[in-house]
């Protein structure tokens, strides 16, 4: 029987329970669906829920388990962000601008199904995945389960809120400028942005800034998700070489002594970056913990150079491309249309081409810090989750400046393409999650998973937020 305690165990532990037949997939799926019905009106994490389809998929999974079949996520109920196609559903991307149902599943959805996952539904995001909050005119405000007056972040805010609230065992997410890592940080979850092209993605989104991934309760959950969607033939000729061992093995294997650089200096943002005292403190605390665990730790800043210029041009040009692809642009919010105007001024075609051309030089210069260090530790954001409504509805310029000041630490690694992860640290004085960021050299997700698992064992972060009160008026 699936008790509600199982809602906060995570995908890896539930997969074990399913294999041991301690619980059935139908029992788990029904439990998550009942929680969604009761809790989600207060947080609005799901755009759509497919209860009947999910229960049918759960029955198929139970039959496969009974027949002795196995797959990494067999029978595990998950959610997917509304950026990927699910056959027969309109991929809304947080807007009313689309109306054509997808003809087939996206590759990552197909691989998740092939791994046995039970898809509960699709999660909310800001319009066209632009923002570090999840609030839209079309689908309403998505709220943080830790405090419904705060944002879960964005753009994978619905996925972060759903997992934190115990409405799915794990959730697919995507990251073009921190969109996995910021919701993970705000919601007390682990969030890994994989190496570019590691996981399947539809096309080259935002001139190559975006990748697919997930948000999860534990490091082992993310490792399992990555194993599930990268097993088998490479999805693309651009996919990096497979790791020497599985991601799950990496997460379960001690790192040995590492050389870790620590920096609180962000790249130049569109406006002066912010860093609150608590966010700086958790970096210092984490550095001290790592030193106590035997790692070599010293403060050293990357050579950022002019990387901020490339980041801004690439980000805005990618948004402008997305806006042009919307069939009903007249339905877009004024703030979104304002980003198209900003792109014309700040990211003309020549600047966008230049940003991509300079990626390798930026990667080499910034990556020099890994010549004598294995990993880099930085703040994740200026502070805990901001209040709902801080940036939604403002002019595009005000939103861009405000968000770039609060969230300056993530997007550089989208530009360089290498792995980076948000790792929970502790709760703030007001009871909201705080996190740090770990960054690895290209292709070294194994190092991130291994060290993050060590931090998880030293200061376990799996905490349950209070169950939200009835839904506030939108």
Exposed e or buried b for every residue in 42-78, given b needs 16+ CB within 10 A? bbbbbbebbbeebbebbbebbebbeeeeebbbbbbbb
Exposed e or buried b for every residue in 274-286, given b needs 16+ CB within 10 A? bbeebbeebbeeb
For residues 343 and 206, give the distance between their C-alpha atoms in angstroms, rounded to a whole number. Answer: 12
- Burial label, 272 (beta-carbon count in 10 A; 0-12, 13-18, 19+): exposed
Q: List C-alpha distances in Å: 268 to 90, 265, 304, 315.
A: 38, 9, 8, 14
For residues 358 and 362, give the distance between their C-alpha atoms in angstroms, rounded to a whole number. Answer: 6
Cβ(431)–Cβ(297) under 8 Å? no
Catalytic pick among 24, 81, 156, 216: 81
Residue 155 annotated in active site: yes
Residue 81 annotated in active site: yes
For residues 398 and 239, give the distance between their C-alpha atoms in angstroms, rounded to a whole number. Answer: 37
Token pair, residue 463, equals 């905490």
How is 12-51 classified by DSSP, letter by letter?
HHHHHHHHTTSS-HHHHHHHHHHHHHHHHHHH--EEEE-H
Q: List C-alpha distances in Å: 415 to 261, 263, 315, 319, 370.
A: 20, 18, 9, 15, 17
Residue 208 phi, psi (nearest 5) = 95, 0
Catalytic pick among 159, 179, 248, 450: 179
Whether a cis peptide bond, with omega within 30° of 0, leads into 155 is yes
For residues 11 and 329, give the distance between their C-alpha atoms in angstroms, rounded to a whole number. Answer: 38
Residue 300 annotated in active site: no
Residue 76 phi, psi (nearest 5) = -85, 125
List the beta bridge partners of residue 435: 424
Catalytic pick among 24, 155, 210, 216: 155
Active site residues: 81, 155, 179
């Amino acid at each position: 029987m699936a008790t509600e305690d199982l809602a906060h165990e995570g995908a890896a532990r539930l997969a074990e329970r399913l294999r041991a037949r301690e619980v059935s997939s139908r029992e788990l799926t029904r439990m998550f669906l009942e929680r969604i019905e009761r809790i989600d009106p207060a947080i609005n994490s799901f755009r759509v829920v497919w209860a009947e389809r999910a229960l049918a998929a759960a029955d198929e999974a139970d039959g496969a388990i009974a027949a002795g079949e196995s797959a990494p996520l067999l029978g595990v109920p998950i959610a997917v962000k509304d950026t990927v196609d699910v056959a027969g559903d309109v991929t809304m991307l947080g807007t009313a601008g689309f109306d054509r149902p997808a003809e087939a599943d996206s590759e990552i959805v197909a691989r998740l199904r092939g791994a046995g996952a039970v898809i509960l539904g699709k999660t909310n995001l800001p319009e066209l995945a632009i923002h570090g909050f999840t609030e839209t005119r079309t689908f309403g405000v998505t709220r943080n389960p830790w405090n419904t007056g705060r944002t879960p972040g964005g753009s994978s805010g619905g996925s972060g809120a759903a997992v934190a609230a115990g409405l799915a065992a794990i959730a697919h997410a995507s990251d073009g400028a921190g969109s996995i890592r910021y919701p993970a940080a705000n919601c007390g979850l682990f969030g890994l942005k994989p190496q570019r092209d590691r996981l399947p993605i539809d096309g080259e989104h935002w001139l190559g800034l975006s990748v697919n991934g997930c948000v999860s309760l534990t490091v082992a959950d993310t490792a399992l998700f990555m194993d599930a969607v990268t097993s088998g033939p490479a999805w693309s000729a651009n996919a990096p070489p497979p790791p020497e061992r599985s991601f799950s093995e990496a997460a379960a294997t001690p790192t040995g002594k590492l050389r870790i650089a620590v920096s609180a200096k962000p790249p130049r943002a569109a406006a002066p970056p912010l860093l609150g005292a608590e966010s700086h403190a958790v970096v210092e605390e984490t550095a001290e913990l790592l030193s106590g665990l035997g790692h070599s730790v010293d403060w050293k800043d990357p050579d950022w150079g002019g990387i901020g210029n490339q980041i801004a041009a690439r980000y805005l040009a990618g948004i402008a491309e997305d806006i042009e692809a919307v069939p009903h642009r007249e339905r877009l919010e004024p703030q979104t249309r304002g980003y198209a105007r900003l792109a014309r001024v700040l990211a003309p075609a020549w600047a966008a081409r230049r940003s991509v051309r300079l990626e390798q030089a930026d990667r080499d210069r910034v990556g020099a810090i890994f010549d004598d260090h294995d990993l880099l530790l930085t703040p994740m954001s200026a502070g805990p989750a901001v209040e709902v409504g801080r940036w939604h509805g403002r002019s595009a310029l005000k939103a861009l400046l405000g968000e770039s000041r609060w969230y300056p630490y993530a997007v550089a690694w989208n530009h360089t393409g290498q792995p980076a992860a948000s790792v929970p640290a502790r709760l703030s004085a007001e009871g909201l999650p705080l996190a740090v960021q770990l960054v690895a050299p290209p292709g070294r997700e194994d190092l991130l998973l291994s060290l993050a698992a060590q931090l998880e064992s030293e200061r376990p972060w799996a905490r349950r937020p209070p169950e939200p009160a009835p839904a506030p008026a939108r």
